[in-house]
Structure 1
Amino acid sequence: MVSDSRVSYLEVLEHELGSLGLVARVVRTRSGPAFLRVVNPAAAGLAEDVGCAPAPDTPDHYYWWSWGERMHRVDDPCGAASKLARVLEARPAD
């Protein structure tokens, strides 16, 4: 089943993000696709919802930013986790 593979990809990313100190969990909704909610525990306002789906016109699955832009291929969850950690990094105020 397609949704099962998407959830599996999200769970792998969830594990990678945990090793980087981010809090992540797979959210399954009744009406929409599952997604991964990612939060920086040091700054709870820094959060992102990551989806997983094939790119148009290809069977290859990707992680997707919440605004619908392709983020990273699912065959490199470590790279995707690093990208998310960089985006959700708390920066000191100037």
Structure 2
Amino acid sequence: MTATPPREHTRTYFLGKLAEVLEIRGLEVALRSNPPSLKATDPDAAMLSETVDCVATADGWYYRWSWGEIVESTNDPEAAADRILKVFAGRSPSGPA
């Protein structure tokens, strides 16, 4: 049996914290283990989904969009959820123009 590297445990921990906040706010969330990532989907607009992972930088751990841009520090999953929801609202047919 192969042990999971500590770095992967850290990513999974931070993604789990973000998943909890997103679920409370009404998004559907799927955690993936290899590589650790989180897929968030708006249940009211199933076409709206984003994948987020975690990355360690010299300044600490950060949530990161699938295209590599930083979302927010893992120290603030609430702010990361705010930003994800803002992106969803901007893409929603009923969202801001």
Under TM normalisation by the shorter chain, which class is it? 0.7 to 0.9
Give the match for residue 17 of structure 1.
22
Match of 1:4 among 2, 9, 15: 9
Give the number of the structure with larger relative contact order, counting CA–CA contacts within 8 Å between residues 6 or more apart: 1
Matched, 1:72 2:64: no
* C-alpha distance after superposition, 1:35-89 (max 9, x if no partner): 000000000110000010112xx15100001101111000000000111111112
- Segments of structure 1 that go 5 or more residues without pairing to the other structure are none
- Supply the distance in 2 between the matched residues of 1:52 and 1:80 (Cα, whole angstroms): 12
How many residues are matched? 89
Give the match for residue 43 of structure 1.
45
Structure with more strand by fraction:
2
The one-letter code matched in structure 1 to 2:12 is V
Give the match for residue 27 of structure 1.
32
Q: Secondary structure at the match of 2:66?
A: coil
Q: Secondary structure at the match of 2:68?
A: coil
- Supply the distance in 2 between the matched residues of 1:25 and 1:14 (Cα, whole angstroms): 8
- Segments of structure 2 that go 5 or more residues without pairing to the other structure are 1-5
Percent identity of paired positions between Structure 1 and Structure 2:
30
- C-alpha displacement at 1:91, in angstroms? 3.5
Superposition RMSD on alpha carbons, in Å?
Answer: 1.6
Matched, 1:83 2:69: no
